[in-house]
Amino acid sequence: MILAGVSRPALPGFPTVVLREDETMAALTVGYQPFDAIKPVLDAWVSGDLSVKKQVQAAQQNDASQQVH
C-alpha cells in the first residue's frame, strides 16, 4: 500500500481503502488517513481477529432493527 504523497489529494475521498472478505466489502477509509491510524485495524483483519463479514452483518442487523415499520 502506497500512501506517501497523498495527504492533500486533489480529489475528495481519495484514497479509499476497502477490505474484502469473500463477497463482503467494507470501506476502511474514505479519504487520506495516516498509516499509523489504520495499521491496528489492518493488523487485526490480517491476523483474523477482525471479520469484515461479521462487522457488516452486525451493522445491517442494527440498521434493520432501527427502521420503523
C-alpha 30/C-alpha 65 separation (Å) is 26
| pLDDT, tens digit, 9 for 90 and up, residues 23-58 | 999 999 998 899 999 999 999 999 999 999 999 999
For the cut 70, the answer to whether the pLDDT of residue 7 exceeds it is: no
For the cut 60, the answer to whether the pLDDT of residue 12 exceeds it is: yes
Q: What is the DSSP string of the chain?
A: ---TT-SS-SSTT-SEEEEEETTEEEEEEES---HHHHHHHHHHHHHTSS-HHHHHHHHHHHHHHH---
| pTM to 2 decimal places | 0.65
The pLDDT of residue 66: 85
